[in-house]
């Protein structure tokens, strides 16, 4: 067995470990719970807990924690040791089924959007047996859901688990109409993760990176990404060492980290895992982000996961690849060699088209963050207008169905390389479109709008929910149809005709597309503040409550949490900018201009012929911008301190329209000062150092 095979999953209490450590009867009961959703009895839970504890201790664990995903955007842990006192004064190592199944963190200290008052502290973590436990940092981590005393979801996992059950149930209604004897349909997801790596010593010199995760000021270096030489370029040795260790750490945790490469911007990179079921994929993506940060620290680096850490170069996104598969091994989004004859595929494709069109605003809202507002539509990421890319072949097939015509497939030509030494190969049926928010890419949909530090849970909850709704409607129309094949074609035809406006195969960056999208009636929700109200629209509430995935109260709480987060993020950024400018930039430029004035005076007093044009020109320019910075600081201070609006949405609009605007104006002059000052006198590491000095 190779080193990698021995390493992979070595810190995971996976199926192979359970088979070896549980009795056959207990293992069978446990798997029945996983597959059928029935509650474990006390005796079985105790045996699973004992086996899990013994295995974890062998792996070096001394503590256990219920590992959950509150609405903070990161994972949470409360560690308890395995030790319990014995009568003779010693300790014994214990872990009961009760401790495995239920925990009790403080619910009022996490974002709840009004679901919990400060004095209402009780909350529960509940073991998710469908997600493997693992050992990390000498602690047994047990994936759990997190809910309030009243059972309301306070986390991201709970609605995901609910949506997984619903989409399986509704998809089964469809596949069984085609004679497929499936018992379960699983959402399969692969999340490509982009990130920046910078040297720790430069990171530490910048308060904006420390407090905000992005630079709030910084002049552009002479070179950015315009040469396209970083993308897929040779990986620097220091970065390669980081990637190698990251792979090993992720493999231990059962994460199939598969692909790694340099991304488009300097210091930017990407990691892509192999697909897994959506629950594991969401857990694993949280682990990927955590391990990236920890591993980088050990190499004297810092991993930045902000959507837009540097102005003027590409921001970082996360591509959520989404598909559906039956337990019989059928990918419902695989077209096959003759997609025009694959009615099941075309029906599922039509369902996604309709779902995305009907809930385009909600999909935009699920990727809405203050950081992502800087990235979307900036010729580096999809625009804020949601559309679907299908490619020419699938579009032509659907157009033919709509017109009631036969589709005539053209044989794809071979790619001619111009030399006999290289192999000839057939073209794919369609090109790719990197400007598309939601692109069909062979056998899946790639949702490309997510920001780098975004949890993939929420977008998948929404995709699962809205597609389930359409599946339900399709099944109602098709069940009992006298001529099933004709009925399927009619559903596909009607759906495409009514929702084809969402399909766009062109350049999403162009101004023409904005005009065309408006003419089609598509939404252009440019900012987070525009998008978030989609969470509490009547039709959103209706679809989520219909399937029991989120109640109205839970949706409203998420809406309030995200609005509050938007305001807090910008407030922190504004205060950080003021701190940097008042304590560092203004003293630096004052000192430097004083030097210039002193030099001018000394040159004038010198009894030699000399010029002071250089100092005089710089002094005049820097003094001009310094005065503007002084006024800009006053405007920003006033903007931050003068917030008198009431209501979360009005406050968020104020931060977007007034505070952010004041910050952007102030940055213009600060950056101009940096570009004209001596590097020795500037208090912060430059963009050139941050992006190129690794």
Task: Give the chain's end-to-end CA distance (angstroms, integer).
Answer: 36
Whole-number pLDDT of residue 431: 65
Q: In 3-state terms, what secondary structure has residue 101? A: helix
DSSP code for 656 = I
Kindly tell me if the per-residue pLDDT of 493 is higher than 70.
yes
Length of the chain: 694
Q: Which helix (H) or strand (E) holds 34?
A: helix 24-36
pLDDT digits (tens, 9 = 90+) for 427-444: 666 667 788 999 999 899
- Beta strands, E only, 337-485: 388-389, 414-415, 425-426, 438-440, 445-451
CA distance 108 to 372: 28
**Confidence at residue 420, expressed as pLDDT on a 0 to 100 scale:** 66
Confidence of residue 415 (pLDDT cuts 50, 70, 90): low
**pLDDT, tens only, 327-336:** 999 999 999 9
Based on the number of CB atoms within 10 Å of its own CB, is 684 exposed (0-12), middle (13-18) or buried (19 or more)?
buried
Distance of alpha carbon 275 from alpha carbon 322, whole angstroms = 9
Distance CA 149, CA 125 (A): 10
Mean of all residue pLDDT scores within the chain: 93
Structure tokens at 81: 């040791």
Residue 141 confidence (pLDDT) above 80? yes
* Beta strands 63-67 and 139-148, pairing class: parallel
pLDDT tier for residue 584 given thresholds of 50, 70 and 90: very high
Predicted confidence at residue 269, as pLDDT, reads 96
Distance of CA 184 to the CA centre of its chain: 27
Assess whether pLDDT exceeds 80 at residue 307: yes
pLDDT at 412: 63
Q: Give the pLDDT confidence of 31-84 residue by residue, as tens digits.
A: 988 887 778 888 999 999 999 999 999 999 999 999 999 998 889 999 999 988
The answer to whether 96 and 49 have CB atoms below 8 angstroms apart is: yes
**Least confident piece of the model among 242-246, 376-380, 582-586:** 376-380
Cα–Cα distance for residue pair 676/672, rounded to 1 Å: 7
pLDDT digit string, tens, across residues 610-651 = 999 999 999 999 999 999 999 999 999 999 998 877 788 999
Q: What does each C-alpha distance from 548 to 184, 541, 543, 554 come to in angstroms?
A: 19, 10, 9, 11
At residue 601 the predicted structure's pLDDT band, cuts being 50, 70 and 90, is: very high
Radius of gyration of the chain (CA): 28
421 pLDDT tier (thresholds 50, 70, 90): low
Whole-prediction pTM: 0.94
User: Tokens for 593?
Assistant: 């201009």
Give the residue from 685, 544, 530 showing the smallest Cα distance to 153.
544
Mean pLDDT of 337-355: 96
- Amino acid 659: pLDDT: 97
Q: How far apart are CA 379 and CA 299, in angstroms?
A: 32
State the pLDDT confidence band at 458, using cuts at 50, 70 and 90: very high
Task: Pick 578 or 105 by higher pLDDT.
Answer: 578
8 Å CB contact between 313 and 262: no
Q: Do the beta carbons of residue 196 and residue 209 sit within 8 Å?
A: no
Q: How far apart are CA 356 and CA 364, in angstroms?
A: 10
Q: What is the mean pLDDT of residues 448-464?
A: 96
CA distance 127 to 74: 18
Report how far apart, in Å, the C-alpha atoms of 423 and of each of 49, 248, 564 are. Answer: 56, 35, 56
- Are the C-beta atoms of residues 141 and 65 closer than 8 Å to each other? yes
Question: Which SS3 state, helix, strand or coil, does residue 313 take?
Answer: coil
* Count of alpha carbons within 13 angstroms of residue 439, beta-carbon side: 22
């Amino acid at each position: 067995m190779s080193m990698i095979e021995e390493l992979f999953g070595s810190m995971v209490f996976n199926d192979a470990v359970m088979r070896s450590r549980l009795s056959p009867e207990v293992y069978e009961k446990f798997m029945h719970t996983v597959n059928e959703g029935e509650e474990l009895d006390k005796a079985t839970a105790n045996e699973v807990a004992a086996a899990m504890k013994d295995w974890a201790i062998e792996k070096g664990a001394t503590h256990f924690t219920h590992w959950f995903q509150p609405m903070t955007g990161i994972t949470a842990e409360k560690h308890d040791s395995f030790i319990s006192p014995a009568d003779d004064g010693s300790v014994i190592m214990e872990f009961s089924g009760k401790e495995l199944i239920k925990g009790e963190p403080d619910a009022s200290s996490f974002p709840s959007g009004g679901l919990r008052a400060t004095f209402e502290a009780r909350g529960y973590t509940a073991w998710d047996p469908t997600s493997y436990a693992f050992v990390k940092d000498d602690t047994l981590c047990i994936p759990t859901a997190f809910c309030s005393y009243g059972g309301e979801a306070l986390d991201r996992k709970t609605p995901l688990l609910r949506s997984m059950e619903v989409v399986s149930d509704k998809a089964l209604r469809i596949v069984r109409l085609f004679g497929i004897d499936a018992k379960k349909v699983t959402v399969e997801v692969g999340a490509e993760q982009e990130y920046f790596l910078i040297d720790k010593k430069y990171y530490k010199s910048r308060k904006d990176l420390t407090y905000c995760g992005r630079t709030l000021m910084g002049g552009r270096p002479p070179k950015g990404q315009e040469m396209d030489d970083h993308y897929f370029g040779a990986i620097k040795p220091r970065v390669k060492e980081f990637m190698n260790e990251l792979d090993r750490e992720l493999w231990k945790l059962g994460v199939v980290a598969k692909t790694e490469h340099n991304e488009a911007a300097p210091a930017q990179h990407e990691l892509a895992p192999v697909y897994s079921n959506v629950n594991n994929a969401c857990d694993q993506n949280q682990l990927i982000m955590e391990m990236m940060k920890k591993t980088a620290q050990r190499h004297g680096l810092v991993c930045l996961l902000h959507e837009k850490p540097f102005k003027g170069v590409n921001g970082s996104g996360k591509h959520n690849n989404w598909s559906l598969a039956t337990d019989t091994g059928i990918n419902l989004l695989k077209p096959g060699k003759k997609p025009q004859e694959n009615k099941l595929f075309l029906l599922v494709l039509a369902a996604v088209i309709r779902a995305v069109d009907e809930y385009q605003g909600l999909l935009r809202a699920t990727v809405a963050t203050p950081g992502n507002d800087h990235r979307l539509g900036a010729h580096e990421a999809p625009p804020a207008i949601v559309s679907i890319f299908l490619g020419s072949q699938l579009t032509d097939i659907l157009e033919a169905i709509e017109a009631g015509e036969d589709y005539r497939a053209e044989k794809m030509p071979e790619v001619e390389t111009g030399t006999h030494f290289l192999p000839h190969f057939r073209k794919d049926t369609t090109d790719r479109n990197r400007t598309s928010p939601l692109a069909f890419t062979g056998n899946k949909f790639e949702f490309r709008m997510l920001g780098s530090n975004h949890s993939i849970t929420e977008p998948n909850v929404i995709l699962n929910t809205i597609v389930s709704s359409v599946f339900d409607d399709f099944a109602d129309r098709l069940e009992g149809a006298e001529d099933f094949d004709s009925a399927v074609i009619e559903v596909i035809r009607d759906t495409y005709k009514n929702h084809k406006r969402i399909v766009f195969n062109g350049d999403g960056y162009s101004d023409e597309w904005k005009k065309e999208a408006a003419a089609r009636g598509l939404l252009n929700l440019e900012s987070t503040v525009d998008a978030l109200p989609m969470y509490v629209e009547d039709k959103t509430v209706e679809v989520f409550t219909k399937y029991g995935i989120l109640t109205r109260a839970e949706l409203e709480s998420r809406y309030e949490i995200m609005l509050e987060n938007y305001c807090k993020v910008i407030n922190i950024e504004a205060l950080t900018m003021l701190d940097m400018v008042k304590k560092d930039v203004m003293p630096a430029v004052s000192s430097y201009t004083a030097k210039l004035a002193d030099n001018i005076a000394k040159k004038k007093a010198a009894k030699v012929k000399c010029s002071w044009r250089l100092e005089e020109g710089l002094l005049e320019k820097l003094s001009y911008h310094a005065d503007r910075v002084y006024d800009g600081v006053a405007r920003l201070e006033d903007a931050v301190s003068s917030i008198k609006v009431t209501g979360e949405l009005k406050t968020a609009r104020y931060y977007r329209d007034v505070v952010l605007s004041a910050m952007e104006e102030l940055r213009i002059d600060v950056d101009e000062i940096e570009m004209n000052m001596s590097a020795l006198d500037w208090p912060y590491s430059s963009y050139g150092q941050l992006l190129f000095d690794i």
